[in-house]
Structure formats: C-alpha cells, structure tokens
A = this chain, B = another copy of it.
C-alpha cells in the first residue's frame, strides 16, 4: 500500500515550533512534500534550529498566519494542512488578550475562509488544548466534559476549534480537532515556562540548578511529542475523523512524581517545593488528566512512549543542543 503521505503537499502552520517541527520531520521521512510556515515571533515556540537537520528537505516560509496574502499563497495546492500556529502562553493571553485573539481566533477564521474559497479539498488537523475544559468536574476528562475556559487563551482556542468543526459541518471542509494535553520532548521551548513548565525544569536540571515545583500533588498527564505527531497523521489520513474532536492523554502522574522521575533519569538534580504565586493560582485548574478512549476506538491511537523513556530522549537531545534554545 502506498502511503497517502508520499509526495503529498503538506503545510504546517507554526511549523518551526516544538510540535510543528517534529511533525515536519516525521512527514519528510515519510516522503511528504513539506512546507512550514512560521512567524518566528520571539516569545513563541519557533526556532530555526528545530529544522536544521531538514535543510533542503522541506520549504520554510517565515510568514505569519495573520497575513492573509501569505496564507492564500501557501494553502493553494496543498493536500493537508496541519494547523498548529498559536499563542500558547496563558499568562500572555491575560496581559495581551487582543494579540492572543488575533492569532488563535481571527487568523483561524481567515485560514478557514481561504481554504473554503481556494482549496476546498484540503484536509485540516487543528491543534487545540485541554485548557478549554477549565477545572475538571470529573476525571479523566472526556470530550463530553463541560467546556469552561479559565483564561483568554482557552476562550480564543475554543473559538478556533469550533470554527474548524463548523466549516467541516456546514461547508464540508474536512477538519479534525485534537485537544492536546501537556506535550514534551526534543525541541520544546526551554527558555521559559511559556509553552510548558517541563521545559524550564529540563533546562535547569541540565544546568545543574534546582527547579521549582508548585504545590506538587496536582495530577497531570504528559504526551511525548512523537505520540502527538502520530495522532496528527492518523487524524489527517482518516475520513472517519472528519468533523470530530479528540482528546489526547496519558496516565496521570503527580508533579512530584514527574520531578522525581526527571531527577532520576538525569542521574542528578534537585527541586524546591513552592506554593502557588497569586497570579497563577487564580487560573489554576487543579488535577487534570484526559480520557483518550474516543481516539483510541476511532483511530487506534494510544501513547506508546513511557514518561521515563520520553524524558530520557528529551534530556539526550538537550544535553547536546541546549545552547540553541536559551
């Protein structure tokens, strides 16, 4: 069987970012004709070093999803669109809500309108977030859980997600939404906690400095990035996934367990337990872990890389590459 990805023209928005660049690598290895689009905004996840090993194998376009002309130019002729560009920092969404809105909402409807008009045959996979569920009523959180975003980012991401499902349902523009939980792995942002706190933990442990764990008893789930990109490929190539929303997820661990695992796999390191800073506490959601039964049944997906293995691979990467990320 010929892979549907072989020589398929593919666009990845946010393709120089953490997940986007890992996806670009997987797609390139499977023979897809990959274009990544990324604005390389300083406080976001884009980093040219993320694709340094793909030089000559993919096309890189440094434009912004808010730029409609660029979107139009890049969407034309593509078979798949992995729509990953986003503002991901919850704190930044509160201090600059209009910027978050432009990227996570306004640009999304522009992208969908462009596809509807100029490339209605394209299949879209949109990266959403578990953040939209807010503080869980029950665990694990399935896709039927009430939606209750606790920050501007959650509200805006939810609109982006709903636009995709709406355009699927009303116009037949095939789209699948994945609600990602905490994703980690090589090429994640480690400069600060804007993408995920595990990034700054890894950086500090590699720099032989103590890291901070807030509270520590909260349970969370963590997906290794290769498991996430695998889910994206399954969603892209399945007609059954059209118009569907799927949680990703993994077994829950406490932040203390995660911190201990990180120190253990690294073979050294330490952390301080701290109570929540006030500005984080008011938007914290307590325990969260996702129920991924729906995607497991529909697409056969489940996480394959254990937390220990994933942390080990991530530390291996940053032991050599840390200087390109700080």
Give A contacts to B, CB under 8 Å.
Answer: 94, 97-98, 101, 105-106, 109-110, 113, 144, 146-147, 149-152, 155-156, 158-159, 162-163, 166, 169-170, 282-283
Give me 9 A-to-B residue pairs in the complex whose CB atoms sit less than 8 angstroms apart, sorted by A's number.
Answer: A98-B110, A101-B109, A105-B105, A144-B146, A146-B146, A150-B166, A152-B163, A152-B166, A155-B166
When chains A and B are docked, how far (Å) is the Cα of A150 from the Cα of B168?
Answer: 11
Q: Which B-chain residue is minimally distant from A147 (CB atoms)?
A: B147
Q: Which residue from chain B places its CB closest to the CB of A68 in the assembled complex?
A: B98
Q: Is the interface of A mostly helix, strand, loop or mixed?
A: helix
A109 touches B152 (CB 8 A): yes
Interface contact A149-B170, CB-CB below 8 Å: no
Residues of B within 8 A of A110 (CB): 98
How far, in angstroms, from A119 to B156 measured CA to CA in the complex? Answer: 24
Distance in Å from the Cβ of A133 to the closest Cβ of chain B?
12
* Contact, CB under 8 Å: A282 / B105: no
Of the candidates B113, B156, B170, the one whose C-beta lies within 8 Å of that of A159 is: B156
Residues of the B chain whose Cβ atoms lie less than 8 Å from the Cβ of A109: 97-98, 101, 152
Cβ of A159: which chain B residues have Cβ within 8 Å of it?
Answer: 105, 155-156, 158-159
